[in-house]
Chains A and B, each alone.
Chain A
């Protein structure tokens, strides 16, 4: 077994880069949509054989056991080469939770199935009345003998129509004094009559989001992870690394590269106003990357990130949006056209980029929620 953490950063980066460049299927690079598992299965098999499905998991559970610094490099290389994250909800969300809070039986049963993608997971957190105010969720799970009976509705469940299992936050004690206290973390199979999935068509015409309805759906009691009514704190404990990942400069950097080639091909740089706005965007990306590097250095020194890391997400997602808006401007009369626009020997789908940028300020804790967090936890503002 390799001790990746013993390698220098440069060696490790080279190793990861070489693997992606040699093995990642060309047709899957920079996929503009979220693939169904069948579409990327051949890539997943390679990754699984290499033992690289779960970079963050400890080696004893089949992961790479990367420390934060190496993990960041892994993700940077993944994004740089346009490697699709695959159906990684199991690896990113359920696996770490089971590793941290699950029983030995749960670990033995679920973890190998996550790595092999025998089970494909979706995340049942948001509900129609519980978005930013997630703790307001109402989906009930009641104990009935050896099972939980689930009733309610989840929404924005990414790729639920292509998942075999759902991990969810459910209300198990409606009478708890604080709404955060009556919530549990539960695993459930999707393939049963009490579960109904409907896709939601987004502005871009994609159907990656779903609504999931539970009508007396059932799951064994053994599928409760951690203690009953302790789901909220468990789910929150997982978010700390995600917060730097979601603020990484790569999305904006890639979009800026696209904008530059497109604008050049279209002659947009002849316009001094456009030049200035491009320079603003490019400098916004460059200076964000400098700030990101500071947080990354903190991780590399083994420090835990504070709430201030939220600022990365705010800045980079808003910057990403401005860049895609500039693409539309550069497209001129083609700015409302669906599909790729050809410029010289490159093609750029400006609308796809524009749409892709829109939800980034909403998901992962909307930018308004991030501002609330910074206001209270970092600036110490009252109320």
Chain B
């Protein structure tokens, strides 16, 4: 017997899967990439109708109140078809910030309904290219400075920017067409782009300020990290299915190559890695829903991302090898999965980074006991 909650999750998964499949699965991702890499605003609205963006927003604020695990299920479906729509960005980051800092802001229902997409900018690049302390300043309604590594910058109607205010950090809203605002797009492996934003006296509206901004940002990043992990797991699963189909049909030496033991054992290892990732990431997200301590939630998100990146790297790279030469062509879909995995792995920290955070969090918890 499934509980009604599990039933709801199943329905959510099925509707997201159907929606993506009807729209053309991974073939749609290829078309969008070839057309310039932006997401499809029509798809954003359809996803919104299915309840996707508000999944983790409390019911009182117009969402479904189903939690992060439900968000992870949707993210997994996004990963399976490598959809470029800003699902994790919206559930985890933009709505993650707004529902914590200003749940009654009019942008909240607009994000849930898919009318608008907001990118979130908080990191800055130092002179050497590595992340640096925030110097982007907000004063008197104007924003000045630069932000880097902004996902979804290309198709967003506005930006949620974390900047230095007169009394600590502030969260401000910048419209995409604001004056004194330049977006420099840097192309990524999967056809998407990262935005490098520069502001010079750009008009911005303050949404929140003080310690709360810092805390909400940390928690939103943790949520997005966990959701990105779930997206990578979905991506890995599908990359494996494609590869399994291929080794069953591709013949050499008058046999399917999947009849050779060396291929079989490699395929089994990929399958096992996938199952471990699914179980580990699923458990981490479910535990995050039952946990309020932000440090423990952060450790769980790091566990999820570390596992998901490890799995996705292995799955997509071995998928290329098992496809042989055609795996190295752009024509075969498996390469799209590799490229998407590269981008999602680098976003919000890769496996080595999150193992470090996980270990440090564990040490800290151990010392506190």
Contact = CB atoms under 8 A, between A and B. Distances in A.
B112 interface: no
A275 B358 CA distance: 11
A293 B244 contact: no
Contacts of B355: 276, 279-280, 283
Nearest to A280: B355
A381 B279 contact: no
A316 to B, nearest CB: 10
Given A380-B248, A381-B264, A382-B248, A290 B282 contact: yes
B279 A293 contact: yes
B272 A315 contact: yes
A286 B261 contact: no
B274 to A, nearest CB: 10
B256 A372 contact: no
A287 B280 contact: yes
B360 to A, nearest CB: 9
Given A276-B356, A279-B359, A287 B271 contact: no
Contact of A372 (B248, B264, B277, B303): B264
B264 A276 contact: no
B346 interface: no
A278 interface: yes
B271 A379 contact: yes
A294 B280 CA distance: 10
A378 B359 CA distance: 35
Given A275-B359, A283-B358, A375-B265, A381 B282 contact: no
Contacts of A286: 280, 303
A16 interface: no
A220 B247 CA distance: 53
Contacts of B358: 279, 283
Interface residues of B, number: 33
A291 interface: yes
A300 B94 CA distance: 40
Given A379-B271, A382-B258, A382-B259, A290 B264 contact: no
Interface string A348-383: 000000000000000000001001101100111111
Contacts of A331: none
Contacts of A120: none
B10 interface: no
A308 B263 CA distance: 18
Nearest to B358: A279
Contacts of A290: 276, 279-280, 282-283
A375 B268 contact: yes
A380 B258 CA distance: 9
B29 interface: no
B310 to A, nearest CB: 8
A283 to B, nearest CB: 6
B267 interface: yes
Interface in A140-177: none
A287 B359 contact: no
Interface string B286-324: 000000000000000001001100000000000000000
A287 B268 contact: no
Given A278-B359, A290-B282, A379-B268, A311 B275 contact: yes
Contacts of A278: 359
Interface in A254-299: 275-276, 278-280, 282-284, 286-288, 290-291, 293-294
Contact of A378 (B259, B263, B271, B352): B271
Nearest to A292: B279
B66 to A, nearest CB: 21
A243 to B, nearest CB: 14
Contacts of B271: 311, 374, 378-379
B272 A276 contact: no
B255 interface: yes
A314 B271 CA distance: 12
Nearest to A276: B355
Contacts of B244: 379, 381
Contact of B276 (A293, A315, A379): A315
Tell me which of A283, A368, A378 has the highest count of chain B C-beta atoms within 10 A of its own C-beta. Answer: A283
Contacts of A280: 355
A380 B248 CA distance: 9
Nearest to B260: A383
Given A279-B359, A291-B280, A381 B247 contact: yes
A368 B265 contact: yes
B207 to A, nearest CB: 37
A381 B306 contact: no
B284 to A, nearest CB: 8
Interface string A297-320: 000000000001001001100000
A282 B356 CA distance: 12
Contacts of A379: 244, 264, 267-268, 271
Contacts of A378: 271
Closest 4 CB pairs of A and B: A287-B280, A383-B259, A375-B264, A291-B279
8 contacts: A276-B356, A282-B362, A283-B358, A290-B276, A290-B280, A311-B275, A379-B264, A383-B259
Given A282-B362, A368-B265, A371-B268, 20 more contacts: A279-B358, A280-B355, A283-B355, A284-B276, A287-B283, A290-B280, A291-B279, A291-B280, A294-B279, A311-B275, A315-B272, A371-B264, A374-B268, A374-B272, A375-B265, A375-B268, A379-B264, A381-B244, A381-B267, A383-B255
